[in-house]
Copies of this chain bind each other. A is one copy, B any other.
Amino acid sequence: MAREATKKRQTTEAHDEKRNEILRHCATLFDRVGYHKASMQMLADEVGLGKPTLYHYFPSKNAILFAMHDAHMSALLAGLDEEGGSDDPLGRLRAACIDILRQIAEHPGYVRAFMDHYEDLEGKMRDHIRAQRNAYLQRVRGIIEQGIANGHFRPCDPGLTTLGFLGMCNWAYKWYPPLAKRRPPEDVADAICQPFFEGLSLKGR
Contact = CB atoms under 8 A, between A and B. Distances in A.
Contacts of A156: 191, 194-195
27 contacts: A34-B119, A37-B120, A154-B195, A154-B198, A156-B191, A156-B194, A157-B191, A157-B194, A161-B191, A161-B192, A163-B171, A163-B192, A164-B171, A164-B191, A164-B192, A165-B168, A167-B170, A167-B174, A167-B192, A168-B168, A168-B171, A170-B171, A171-B171, A195-B200, A196-B199, A199-B200, A199-B201
Contact of A199 (B37, B169, B195): B195
The 9 A-B residue pairs whose C-beta atoms are closest, nearest first, are A167-B171, A199-B199, A198-B199, A164-B192, A195-B199, A195-B200, A160-B191, A157-B191, A167-B168
Given A36-B120, A160-B192, A165-B168, 14 more contacts: A157-B191, A160-B188, A161-B192, A163-B172, A164-B171, A164-B192, A164-B193, A164-B196, A167-B171, A167-B172, A167-B174, A168-B168, A195-B197, A195-B199
A134 to B, nearest CB: 12
Contacts of A201: 199
A195 B188 CA distance: 19
A160 to B, nearest CB: 4
Contacts of A120: 34, 36-37
Nearest to A117: B116
Contacts of A198: 154, 198-200
Interface residues of A, number: 35
Interface in A43-90: none
Nearest to A120: B34
A125 interface: no
A56 B25 CA distance: 41
